[in-house]
């Protein structure tokens, strides 16, 4: 796919991986809309973008608002979903509040909303990329909710890829990435992630831009669908 002039929507596009992806799409000449539910994040991100990129307010759990945005932007060529949807429950499963575990699935519901409502508003050769995470296939202690949601997201993509064809859908599965998801203090995050990734084959946390590169590969390569690409520093290996 030649990205130049293509219409792209990045959900969760005001911070972290979504922001890095939206910026790279803009740099390559796409007409980008970066949308999120975080007003503060959108305001901070505004300074990062050029005049051609729009920042919009939408919550992926709000089907009515999401549907209206898709209809307004149609036809879309590129859809990237990097929105978490809500909270992420962590801790021992047998001690976990079940409402917290259930709320972690807001990420899956947000993704299914986006694909279901967005597909009909996309061009015939459009492409969709979702963002999962390496706990989907390497669950660590205290990560049962995140791991289960990741499994569901990756299974969802494999299940719907045949129905979406010739439109394509793929997943990027990041490892530990330095973003504001843990804390607004990026320096503190980097120290925490340095400790948790020191046993990786590449012993450091990743950067949002490194994940964005994989997302752009999946957008551009028209011979890939129903696939998961890992960008995790070798975290999945023993």
Domain carrying residue 217: 7-230
Whether 16 is covered by a domain: the verdict is: yes
What does the pLDDT read at residue 196? 82
CA atoms of 86 and 103, how far apart (whole Å): 7
Q: What is the pTM of this model?
A: 0.93
User: Do 229 and 210 meet the contact criterion of CB atoms below 8 Å apart?
Assistant: no
| Both tokens assigned to 30 | 């796409």
In what helix (H) or strand (E) does residue 33 lie, and over which residues does it extend? strand 31-36
What does the pLDDT read at residue 44? 93
Whether 130 is covered by a domain: the verdict is: yes
3-state secondary structure of 173: strand
What does the pLDDT read at residue 88? 82
Whether 235 is covered by a domain: the verdict is: no
CATH number for the domain that contains residue 130: 3.40.50.720
How many structural domains comprise the chain? Answer: 1
Whether 2 is covered by a domain: the verdict is: no
| Both tokens assigned to 142 | 């205290």
Whether 194 is covered by a domain: the verdict is: yes
| Both tokens assigned to 108 | 């899956």
Whether 1 is covered by a domain: the verdict is: no
What does the pLDDT read at residue 192? 77
CA atoms of 99 and 89, how far apart (whole Å): 9
pLDDT in tens, 26-76: 999 999 999 999 999 999 999 999 999 999 999 999 999 999 999 999 999
What does the pLDDT read at residue 184? 60
Whether 238 is covered by a domain: the verdict is: no
Residues of the chain with pLDDT under 70: 181-186
What does the pLDDT read at residue 194? 79
Whether 185 is covered by a domain: the verdict is: yes
């Amino acid at each position: 796919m030649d990205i130049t002039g293509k219409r792209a929507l990045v959900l969760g596009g005001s911070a972290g991986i979504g922001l890095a992806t939206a910026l790279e799409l803009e740099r390559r000449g796409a007409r980008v809309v970066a949308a999120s539910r975080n007003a503060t994040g959108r305001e901070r991100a505004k300074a990062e973008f050029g005049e051609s990129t729009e920042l919009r307010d939408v919550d992926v759990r709000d089907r009515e608002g999401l549907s209206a945005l898709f209809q307004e932007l149609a036809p879309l060529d590129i859809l990237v979903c990097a929105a978490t949807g809500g909270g992420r429950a962590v801790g021992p499963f047998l001690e976990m509040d079940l409402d917290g575990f259930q709320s972690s699935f807001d990420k899956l519901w947000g993704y299914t909303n986006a694909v279901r409502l967005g597909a009909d508003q996309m061009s015939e050769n459009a492409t969709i990329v979702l963002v999962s995470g390496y706990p989907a296939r390497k669950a660590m202690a205290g990560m049962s909710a995140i791991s289960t949601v990741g499994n569901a997201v990756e299974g969802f993509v494999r299940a719907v890829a045949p129905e979406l064809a010739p439109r394509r859908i793929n997943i990027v599965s990041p490892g530990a990435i330095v973003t504001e998801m843990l804390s607004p203090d990026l320096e503190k995050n980097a120290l925490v992630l340095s400790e948790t990734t020191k046993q990786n084959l590449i012993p450091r946390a990743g950067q949002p831009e490194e994940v964005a590169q994989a997302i752009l590969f999946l957008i551009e390569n028209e011979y890939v669908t129903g696939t998961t690409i890992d960008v995790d520093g070798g975290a999945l290996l023993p």
